[in-house]
Structure 1
Amino acid sequence: MNKHLLKGFSAPLCLAFLVVFLVLPGVSMASSKLTFAFSDKSPPYSSSLDERAVGLFPDLVQLTFSFIPGYTTEHVVVPWSRAQYNVRLGLTDGLLTYPSEEREEYALFSAKPLFTQDFGHLVYSADNPNIGLIESATSFADLSSLTVIVEKGSQWEEDNIPGYLERVPGRDMKSMMHLLMLREAGDFFVQPAEDARFIARQLGYSKKLKVRKVDFIPNSQIPFHIGISRKHPSAMNVINQVDAVMQSPEFQSQLNTLIESYR
């Protein structure tokens, strides 16, 4: 602004002009921008595409803050260990994750989960000769004559799938799907529906894929909450606004639609 344009301004008027100028959109956005970190290798929940964060979790965060006009979000994708480390140090503002005791030490979390990962599904092939048994089972005991495919090193599966079931280990989800569909090395595995359908589409097994929701798998519900670094000066304000948004019927409607689009 040219200096001569200010000559006729009184001090109070100059101050008023400055205040209005600072609150205009785009002028003081730094304090209202929140940077969220996501894992770069956790599809369909989050991954990197052309250096952009894509997947259900970035979409969930974007949807949430579209209902909070006071904040904008920026998304970065990094290895998950680095994402947590950066939030701990306040280098990144937020994440979407399970609020473990360790994470609650460095982040404030929303009261309710934005998403609940549900491991209560049996994943199997439509060509499996034991399909009748899989689809009628009401307990793991009913499946005791079958073979379950597990992920090598998975503590959750060790804790929640009975030891009397014969196991075939796979290196990761892709190898587990090949063992199930191509090699027919096992009868089923236990995974969230989103994961199973995503991998099946990638590997060309969608037509043979069957997913059954069951209620006998323990500890199957894993809640994911929005967390904001305790080092962020407005952490509590952000979480309070997230909690308020989650009470909105319109938000809940859009949230459910978004989640179902990944299932």
Structure 2
Amino acid sequence: MVNKHRLRGFSAPLCLAFLVVFLAFPSVSMGSSKLTFAFSAASPPYSSSLGERSVGLLPDLVQLAFSFIPDYTTENLVVPWSRAQYNVRLGLTDGLLTYPSKERQDYAIFSAMPLFTQDFGHLVYSAENPNVDVIESATSFSDLSSLTVIGEKGSKWEEDNIPDFLERVPGQHMSAMMHLLMLREAGDFMVQPAEDARFSARQLGYSKKLKVRKVDFIPNSQIPFHIGISRKLPSAMDVINQVDAVMQSPEFQSQLNTLIESYR
């Protein structure tokens, strides 16, 4: 016969142990609908950290999308971008918003439509540049062959999409490139998204003389950003299905366009 007193003595610590495990894994035990998204800590205006908060266009876009999905709430983390991708790969973080490369599709399920398209199809230059007329009338890179482009050192995209016949001046990062363009006048133009150019110009005090021209002759200028959910998350397909459904909403599309334009 089982000793009831001994059983009661065993049950209390056992229950306590189960409670500790239960609380330690709330997302599993409580069926939590909270999703954690990872963003780069140093990619303004797209994402960066402000104290303990993530700020920028990409966190705002994810927040907007899930404001239309009552089944899920989101929490944002800002970390180095390599770690953000690593964590989603292992399922330590639930999602990200990025270009759905073949490698990333191996560990994440992506929305059918992009939430945002980064557009490199802009010429960025100074209103005081003596070659303004050339820049504003160009219909091809050939028309700019007498000018100098300021590029980002080590940029694979620029190597692949800006012709070699253009003279180049390299900059280490966007701020350095903007100074080279506006202050040192080391080159005539840059090829950048409008968001990047206007953000950098505001930060550095060059907004009044900044000019941004949309052109249609820059190859591979459209880089789509889709919501991706870790394949390690059991509800990943449900999340993506709901995101895809929201993307069809005219009200969502209206608010989405307004949000994106506010960064341009």
Instruction: Look up the match of 1:257.
Output: 258
Go from structure 1 to structure 2 and tell me whether the alpha carbon gap of 1:122 and 1:29 turns closer, same or farther (over 3 Å shift): farther
Instruction: Look up the match of 2:157.
Output: 156
Instruction: Look up the match of 1:122.
Output: 123
Shift of 1:29: 6.8
TM value normalised by structure 1: 0.89
Cα-to-partner distance string for 1:26-74 (whole Å, 9 max, x where unaligned): xx97520000000000000000001110000000000000000000000
Cα distance in 1 between the residues matched to 2:31 and 2:158:
44
Cα-to-partner distance string for 1:67-95 (whole Å, 9 max, x where unaligned): 00000000000000000000000000000
Give the secondary-structure state (helix, strand or coil) at the position aligned to 2:258: helix
Cα distance in 1 between the residues matched to 2:113 and 2:170:
35
- The 5 A counterparts of 1:169-184 are 169-184=170-185
Matched, 1:189 2:163: no
Task: Select between 30-39 and 235-244 the one with higher mean Cα deviation.
Answer: 30-39
Matched, 1:37 2:49: no
Cα distance in 2 between the residues matched to 1:185 and 1:219:
26
Instruction: Look up the match of 2:232.
Output: 231
Cα-to-partner distance string for 1:93-122 (whole Å, 9 max, x where unaligned): 000000000000000000000000000000
1:132 partner amino acid: D
2:237 partner amino acid: M
Instruction: Look up the match of 2:56.
Output: 55
2:91 partner amino acid: G
2:170 partner amino acid: P
1:238 partner amino acid: V
1:241 partner amino acid: Q
Go from structure 1 to structure 2 and tell me whether the alpha carbon gap of 1:30 and 1:183 turns closer, same or farther (over 3 Å shift): farther
Instruction: Look up the match of 2:78.
Output: 77
1:212 partner amino acid: R
The number of residue pairs the alignment matches comes to: 236
Go from structure 1 to structure 2 and tell me whether the alpha carbon gap of 1:123 and 1:29 turns closer, same or farther (over 3 Å shift): farther
2:68 partner amino acid: F
Give the secondary-structure state (helix, strand or coil) at the position aligned to 2:32: helix
Cα distance in 2 between the residues matched to 1:160 and 1:100:
18
- The 5 A counterparts of 1:6-21 are none
Give the secondary-structure state (helix, strand or coil) at the position aligned to 1:44: coil
2:44 partner amino acid: P
Shift of 1:205: 0.2
Instruction: Look up the match of 1:21.
Output: none
Cα distance in 2 between the residues matched to 1:179 and 1:81:
29
Cα distance in 1 between the residues matched to 2:248 and 2:173:
37
Instruction: Look up the match of 2:103.
Output: 102
The percentage of aligned residue pairs carrying the same residue is 86
Go from structure 1 to structure 2 and tell me whether the alpha carbon gap of 1:29 and 1:53 turns closer, same or farther (over 3 Å shift): farther
Give the secondary-structure state (helix, strand or coil) at the position aligned to 1:207: helix
Give the secondary-structure state (helix, strand or coil) at the position aligned to 2:179: helix
Instruction: Look up the match of 2:16.
Output: none
Cα distance in 2 between the residues matched to 1:150 and 1:29:
50
- The 5 A counterparts of 1:201-220 are 201-220=202-221
Structure 1 runs of 4+ aligned residues shifted over 4 Å read none
Cα distance in 1 between the residues matched to 2:166 and 2:194:
22
Structure 1 residues not aligned, in runs of 5+: 1-27
Cα distance in 2 between the residues matched to 1:220 and 1:124:
18
Cα distance in 2 between the residues matched to 1:171 and 1:84:
24
Instruction: Look up the match of 1:86.
Output: 87
1:177 partner amino acid: M
Go from structure 1 to structure 2 and tell me whether the alpha carbon gap of 1:29 and 1:54 turns closer, same or farther (over 3 Å shift): farther
Cα distance in 1 between the residues matched to 2:30 and 2:254:
29
Instruction: Look up the match of 1:134.
Output: 135
